[in-house]
Amino acid sequence: MGLRRDWSITAVEDTPCAEVVRRRVTVDEDTSVLSYLSGALSLPVTPAFTSPAGYICHASSALWQEVLTHRNAVWIDMMTDRRPTTNKRLGEDGKWGLPVEVGMSQKLILWLAYAYHAFPDVPFIIKGDDDSYLKVPQFLSDVRYVRNGVKRGRLPPPPPRNPVLVDTGDSSTTQAATRMRRVSTYKPTSVEKTKCFYWGSGRRMLGVRFHARMLFMLHRRLVQTILEPPQERADVDLGMLAARDFSEERALLYREAGLQHEDVMVGVVLRHRYNRSRQLCADETIWYVKEGRHRFHDVHHGKLQNVTWSTVVAHRCRPADMYYLHYFFQKEYRASAVELMPGDDPEEVAIESAAAWVAEQRGARSASALGWDDLPSVRWTQQASAAPAYDVAAADNVAVYHCSYQYWKESSTFVWDGYQSSA
């Protein structure tokens, strides 16, 4: 396989491959085939394994760079994405057709199986779309808050790996953190003592509760429920369906199991296997945590909301949006409290500062991150009474708001215990 000239800086949305050739090489005892490959391709790292070039060349140059830099991808070489059977295009609403939709559900099941076995001590497993931005410190704080019991209050964010003093700046009416104080230490909670959460953007279809595919989190015992062989004759073996190639002959089976919608499938399986989930969960309880659309929402198109202090997950993001939203969250909590000249509007001042930052980034990142000319709509400021108190997460320099959750249940959809966010 040959890489095209300047593959890492030009046409990053296209394949990095120029051609695929076969060549037999001989290496000495001190040189492995993988290290030879790393040198021949001028890669910054030595790959852990190889995969047929015909498959790898379907990945974009931008994806290659991300994986080589952050090592944050799992390559599933046992299946490839299927061609759509509809006229839907990337970034549009609608359906891809049954073969593609089933393929996405199969990849979800394979991911859950991999994560469940590769990380045996992890209590929660998350699935998110590749175009979803997650404000990680806020989400983790929310999980700890609900996990520990909402009546106990919210602990501040945990310290970085190397504990440091956190300077939260000047106090304000929306700031709960104390200047230059040491944040609390955290002790890990065992898997068996952790509540069985099914957490995400709440949806309902045909009497079944599920969470939208943009991002949802499952306790590993619920993942175990999904991966287990069927306990009843009428049930479906999802592991078998995930491992087998798509077949039109199994179309009815796919639809019965909900594989035409990956997110609905999870809700359907947990509903069908409710009793089994209760057996596996420590307190015999499945906790549905429902986020509202002011916290988990679309940008650009779909179920649109402006990005504000309350946003935790922004869906349908483009590459440039990821940088912009991180900048936004590092600045938004200061925008309302900044001291201005008489007559200045804090929202306008924040917009002007952001425009200057965007202009700088467009010049520096235009080749590696597309979308600088159409960024998400954001709201920089809010009245002091509109947002709850917050702490500042030292490692990320973003505000973690003390959002509240209320107990919630919905007997018509078999949700007997749950929480929903209120702000």
Among 75, 110, 138, residue at a domain's last position: 75
Q: What is the pLDDT of residue 66?
A: 79
| One domain for residues 292 and 179 | yes
CA distance 74 to 235: 29
pLDDT-based confidence at residue 82 (cuts at 50, 70, 90): low
CA distance 85 to 98: 8
Q: Say how far apart CA 84 and CA 173 lie, in whole Å.
A: 52
Same domain, 193 and 287: yes
In the prediction, which pLDDT does 423 show?
Answer: 62
Pair (418, 348) in one structural domain: yes
Q: Which domain holds residue 62?
A: 1-75
Same domain, 68 and 206: no
State yes or no: pLDDT of 176 exceeds 60: no
Q: Same structural domain for residues 51 and 131?
A: no
pLDDT surpassing 50 at residue 363: yes
Please report which confidence band the pLDDT of residue 166 belongs to, taking 50, 70 and 90 as the band edges.
Answer: very low
Share of the chain above pLDDT 90, in %: 42
pLDDT (0 to 100) of residue 247: 87
- Pair type for strands 296-298 and 313-315: parallel
Please indicate whether residue 108 or residue 161 has the higher confidence score (pLDDT). 108
pLDDT bracket for residue 218 (50, 70, 90): very high
* 361 and 289 belong to one structural domain: yes
Q: What is the mean pLDDT of residues 75-94?
A: 61
160 and 22 housed in the same domain: no
More confident: 163 or 292: 292
**Stretch among 60-64, 105-109, 168-172, 385-389 having the lowest mean pLDDT:** 168-172
For residue 397, give every residue at least 6 positions away whose Cβ sits within 8 Å of its Cβ, in sequence order, or none. Answer: 330
**Within a domain: 84:** no
- For residues 280 and 348, membership in a common domain is answered with yes
pTM: 0.78
- Maximum distance among all alpha carbons in the chain? 75
Give domain status of residue 13, yes or no: yes
Is residue 195 in some structural domain? yes
- Write the CB contacts of 361 (distance below 8 Å, at least 6 apart in sequence): 320, 323, 324, 369, 372
Of the three residues 21, 44, 75, the one that is the final residue of a domain is 75
Check residue 171 and give its pLDDT. Answer: 41
**Do 386 and 317 share a structural domain?**
yes
Q: Are residues 135 and 44 in the same domain?
A: no
Determine the average pLDDT of the residues in 150-162. 73
Q: What percent of the chain has pLDDT over 70?
A: 81
Which residues, 6+ apart, have CB-to-CB distance to 89 below 8 Å? Answer: none
Based on the fold, state whether residues 67 and 189 are members of the same structural domain: no
Domain count, the chain: 2
Q: Can you give the pLDDT at residue 380?
A: 92
Q: Which of 75, 94, 110 is the last residue of a domain?
A: 75
| pLDDT greater than 80 at residue 420 | yes
DSSP-derived letter for residue 405 is E
**Range picked from 35-44, 94-103, 350-359 for highest mean pLDDT:** 350-359
Buried-exposed string 136-151: b where 16+ CB fall within 10 A, e elsewhere: ebbbbbbbebbbeeee
When pLDDT is averaged across residues 219-243 and rounded to a whole number, the result is: 89
